[in-house]
Amino acid sequence: MIFVTKFDGRKQPFQKEKVINTCLRMRASPGQARAVADKIESKLYDGIKTKEILEMIFRYMKEYRPEIAHEIDLREAISLLRPKPDFEQFVRLLLKEYGYQVGISQIVKGKCVEHEVDGIAKKSEDIIYVEVKHHFNHHTYTGVDIFLEAQARLGDLVEGYKSKINPIKFDKILIVCNTKFSDHAKRYADCMGITYIGWKAPEEEGLEQMIEKKKLYPITFLKDLDRRTEAKFGDVGIVLLKQLVETDIEELQERTKIPKNRLKGFVKKAKEILKK
């Protein structure tokens, strides 16, 4: 049995199905995904790092999807977004694509104290308190403390509404983050009726699946995008590749001061990624 070394040093048996699923998420066909997994399986050695496996996936996937040369790992790309305002804007756009009406962050008074609410969303008849959490280390787990704090805030906000301190009658909590949740956190959330979106959570409707389904790739998905240029895009509200290709080049150049030839290069690569 071949063991794989994870980012945190833990070792787990190699699971071929994980490689196949990663390839499928990168829009490979089932046959292509299995072919890539077969190649990687033939080159394994005991203790191989997950990062090396991911690099092999990108290398072999280029044979089937040349545009992948313009991409980085989606999980890493999301972690590279600035927490504020970029990731919060990313979450708002994501939720809107899935039928939510979402407002920007604001201060709302509870019965006891004021609370900074990352977003107020509406879907059907529900008014939802949105809590957004971002980790630069995409291997970090989001723990139960986030859910405990959100539940406490909701209680104070609800009491604030009952006391006529604020006019918003919150019904639910939605926690969105870019990493996995701990099992403890998910158990508490399920027990308390807290909705959550994170990496592979919920299992069949995780953040990565929501992104892939509607091609809501972050601007940081572009391989050669440096931090300074990313910040210029973020400063004018461009956090998705879709926004990049839909914005007039002249207007974008005026707003970001990024040289037009560079912008054209980014747009060309973004279109190649999105057309597949």
Q: What is the pLDDT of residues 1-19, one digit of tens each?
A: 899 999 889 999 999 999 9
pLDDT score of 174 more than 90: yes
pLDDT at residue 25 in the model: 86
Task: Give me the pLDDT at residue 27, please.
Answer: 86
Mean pLDDT computed over 113-134 = 96
Q: What DSSP string runs through 108-147?
A: EE-SSSEEEESEEEEETTEEEEEEEE--SSTTPEE-HHHH
Q: Does residue 71 surpass a pLDDT of 80?
A: yes
Average pLDDT over the chain, rounded to an integer? 96
pLDDT exceeds cutoff 70 at 81 = yes
pLDDT tens across 247-261, in order?
999 999 999 999 999
What pLDDT score does 8 carry?
Answer: 84
Grade residue 276 by pLDDT with cuts at 50, 70 and 90.
low
The confidence score (pLDDT) of residue 195 equals 97
Read off the pLDDT of residues 132-154 as tens digits, 9 standing for 90 and up.
999 999 999 999 999 999 999 99
- Output the pTM of the full model: 0.88
Name the CATH topology of 82-214.
Trna Endonuclease; Chain: A, domain 1 (3.40.1350)
The arithmetic mean of pLDDT across residues 227-256, rounded, is 97
Report whether 103 contacts 252 (CB < 8 A): no
Q: Would you say 119 and 102 are in contact if contact means Cβ atoms under 8 Å apart?
A: yes
Highest CATH level, class, for 218-275 = mainly alpha
Domain regions of the chain by residue span: 3-64, 82-214, 218-275
- The residue-averaged pLDDT of 78-96 equals 97
Classify 97 in phi/psi space as left (phi over 0), alpha (psi -120 to 50) or beta. Answer: alpha
Cα distance between residue 224 and residue 71, in whole Å: 8
